[in-house]
Chain A
């Protein structure tokens, strides 16, 4: 554990959103050169990850483990 562990989110949705933020920022930087194109790709990947995860979670709801 790190010293700032108490500052970390423990909520599953927040952890997932933080992950989506980091991954979408990384790929927007890697795959696009212009600023506007980067922002657009960032928004697309971020929403695809978050909305996709929520959609899969919703679809899995009737099938508890």
Chain B
């Protein structure tokens, strides 16, 4: 496998969902409605690579945390106010909701996996994608990692081909690759 395209989206903690939605408009003509921050972030990382993505692509998505605003809304509604959760918030809280929207918007027909991002996330995503590429299930693999801890970062790589590729980080994977970058809310 080799990396044929990559993206990196960075934003400050103050970046609003409205800012993310506006940025998404440059790549997607009809972005989904009532989505949460994690879905926006995953969509941005993927949409930046949209031009190179084919339908025979699998998605391997990871996030360190769920969308915190969604979790706060759900936990406070259910466990503090003893109210019914809003249906769209509950559905968005399903971890693979972000993967669903990426697959729908980009027309991906391959497997769609979500893992919790930990210290070995890139080698784990690569290992899963390699299985599907080598089995001939897909021709391309889109790997996305979302991390928000105060500021946020979304990194994406699009892989193709069946050669061996071993890497343990985004930097290693994208060495020598032109990475599409976008930044929100940082001042010099």
Partners in one complex: no
Question: Footprint of A on B, CB under 8 Å?
Answer: none
Question: Footprint of B on A, CB under 8 Å?
Answer: none
